[in-house]
Amino acid sequence: MTKFFPLAFYLFSLLFISCSDNDKSQTDDSPVSQEDSRAKRGKRVAVTGFNSTDYFIYRGEPMGFQYELLESFSDHSGYDIVIKPENHPDKAINMLRSGEADILAISLTVNKPARRGIKYTGPIGETRQVLVQRKPEGWQKMTGEEVEKSLVRDKAGLKHKTVYVQGGSVHAGRLRSLSREIGGKVIVVEVPIDDEVLIQQVDRGEIDYTVCDENVALVNASYYPGIDVGTPVSNLQELAWAVRKADSKTLLNELNEWLAEFRKTPEYSILYAKYFRNDRSGAIVKSEYFALNTGRISRWDEIIKVYSESIGWDWQLLASLICQESRFNPQAMSSVGAYGLMQVMPETGVNFGIDIRSSPQNNIKAGTRYIKWLHSIFDPEIEDRDERIKFILAAYNAGPGHILDAMRLAEKNGMDPLEWDNSVRQWLLKKSDPQYYSDTIVKSGYFRGGQTVTFVDEILERYEHYINIVP
């Protein structure tokens, strides 16, 4: 690796520290306080559905009931949770059985016995299954009694009716049991479409009936006032996650212990209300920045796509960096004067001949020019593209001098200077310790690296969520 950069490089690089007021962002200087914040117990893969309650992107941020439950479990357990999206229940279960996933984080109705090869966790909630049907045309001008007369309110009213449900869901089995209970056949059509799309089809008049969990149905009724979800077709049922039966004892115990305590907390109640009793849910789903519907992350997506090509990045990665820096606010300003979507220092714009305040486009242009300059430093050193991106993100936040210092420290101490996660990030954290920042190989001096480490982690984690959700 490069052993020496001339003084002019370091003076020049100081002009480009664009994003963070590092000295003011952390209050504890001790090396102990800057231990690596990432999970220390390894990775667990969770599969969950992507829809308007479980997992989605809104205004550039990952959200959802299942997503936030997984985040809470990650915080509690120390596992690094990686999410894989899958809406089809059978495919999700097969991902668990095959070992592709460790946790099935969808709302499974608890049936006894459990499906082959899986074990249910303790309950994450309760619900019942309800019929989703369309209110009569002109219902707004009818009396409540007139509307009620037009709807199926007795389960026996489903005799010889056709009900569409998601294939692989428990709803088909429930309707077949209902046929036996009411002494007349309910025609069940299983389709490869998730519950929310089927509800939308009921609202549009494309199908007459579907069945889904009541908590999901109630949320969707806030989007589509023309549907009715008031007819239950099952009793109250527990909902749970699942793990693989063959090798799950430790994980299952950890999940059950955590769930039993977490469900007693105000945090759980707030989380449940946020996604299932929130009057704003309809506005979120109808927003231009509800990515599941529109594929959009921000109002700047088209500009981001253009400039991401100039640096050879996926546009979602550049979008994640911009979200981290400014939450897509083009007037954002830091306490040290970094400005705009990419939190560029004015001196950076001057060096590239760009007025960073003149337009959001110019701000992104300056930011990506800086990234291109960072590539010129790290590309010759680090062959692996994924590793190189981590170093460049870190340098975008801290300046390249501090990152090169950490690489030298890693190499001097017998570790890989070209690997971020298990090597260089640790040495960046040690740059607040006099034992290390006073070393003669350190050119840029003291630095508190905790913010930079978190900066890289959060951008890459958000990027993975963007890839999961945004085309």
Q: Which residues are catalytic?
A: 325
Residue 257: its H or E element: helix 249-262
Q: Can you read off the two tokens belonging to residue 144?
A: 């409540």
Q: Which two tokens stand for residue 227?
A: 């549907």
Residue 193, helix vs strand vs coil: coil
Number of residues that this document lists for the chain: 471
Helices 266-276 and 65-77 meet at what angle, rounded to 10? 160
Phi, psi (deg, nearest 5) at residue 221: -65, -25
Element (H, E) at 249: helix 249-262
Q: Is 348 left (phi over 0), alpha (psi -120 to 50) or beta?
A: alpha
The residue behind tokens 């199908």 is 207
Closest CA to 188 of 228, 129, 112: 129
Q: Strands, E, within 112-246: which ranges?
A: 118-127, 129-134, 162-166, 187-191, 209-213, 227-232, 237-244
Residue 60: phi, psi to the nearest 5?
85, 0
Q: Tell which residue, 130, 137, 129, 131, has the closest CA to residue 226.
A: 137
Spatial separation of the C-alpha atoms in residues 150 and 96, rounded to whole Å: 43
CA separation for the pair 7, 199 (Å, rounded): 65
Dist. CA 66–CA 70, nearest whole Å:
6
What is the Rg, in whole angstroms, of the alpha carbon atoms belonging to the chain? Answer: 27
Q: What is the rounded distance in angstroms from the CA atom of residue 348 to the CA atom of residue 333? A: 15
Q: Residue 137 contacts by C-beta under 8 Å, 6 or more apart in sequence?
A: none
Spacing of C-alpha 276 from chain mean position:
18
Q: Residue 228 carries which DSSP code?
A: E
Q: Which residues pair with 190 in a beta bridge?
A: 165
Give all strands of the β-sheet with 237-244 in edge-to-edge order: 80-85, 43-48, 103-109, 237-244, 118-127
Sign of CA dihedral 362, 366, 369, 375: negative
